[in-house]
Amino acid sequence: MLNAQGSMFNDQFSNARLLMENKKYDLEDRLVEYGCRRIDVVEALPPTRAGNYIAGQLIKCCLSPAFNYGEVQAAESRNDFIHKLGIVLKELKECRTALKIVRRKEMIKPVKRIDEIFTETEELIAIVAKSIETATKNRK
């Protein structure tokens, strides 16, 4: 059905936005999605020595945050929680470095294809770093 402006898309967009605003934020799901999207990057790399090496690094460091976040959720103390979140942060930063190399060497073309992925990496780094900062501050 069309809205007053004759557009069904605007109503669907508004409904989707409302659903997203009401949806519980789940970092684990976001990290799982992040890992799944990184698999697409790995599969797009060229089958060269460098491409294969970077693919191996990316598959480990970009899936690791999701796996390690499960350990974060089972932390035995605040210090353990902070430590395990630190591992998630370390792996995300490694992924960022690998993506920088892929971008700089233009191993995936057009390079713009990985801009969104790079942005997601930066956002996750910021979220995890802030979580560590908050947990550290609240440790006392």
Q: What single string gives the DSSP state of each residue in 50-84?
A: HHHHHHHHHHHHHHHHHHHHHHHHT-SSHHHHHHH
> What local confidence, expressed as pLDDT, does residue 25 receive?
59
Classify the C-alpha dihedral 79-84-87-93 as positive or negative. Answer: negative
5 DSSP assignment: T
SS3 107: coil
Place of tokens 């557009």: 7
> What local confidence, expressed as pLDDT, does residue 19 receive?
43
Residue ranges of domains in the chain: 26-137
Tell me which architecture the domain covering 26-137 has in CATH.
Up-down Bundle (1.20)
Q: Which residues contact 61 (CB under 8 A, 6 or more apart)?
A: 91, 92, 94, 95, 98
> What local confidence, expressed as pLDDT, does residue 139 receive?
83
From first to last of its 140 residues, what are the pLDDT tens digits of the chain? 344 444 443 443 344 444 444 444 599 999 999 999 999 999 999 999 999 999 999 999 999 999 999 999 999 999 999 999 999 999 999 999 999 999 999 999 999 999 999 999 999 999 999 999 999 999 87
Q: State the Cα–Cα distance between residues 42 and 54, nearest whole angstrom.
A: 8
> What local confidence, expressed as pLDDT, does residue 5 receive?
42
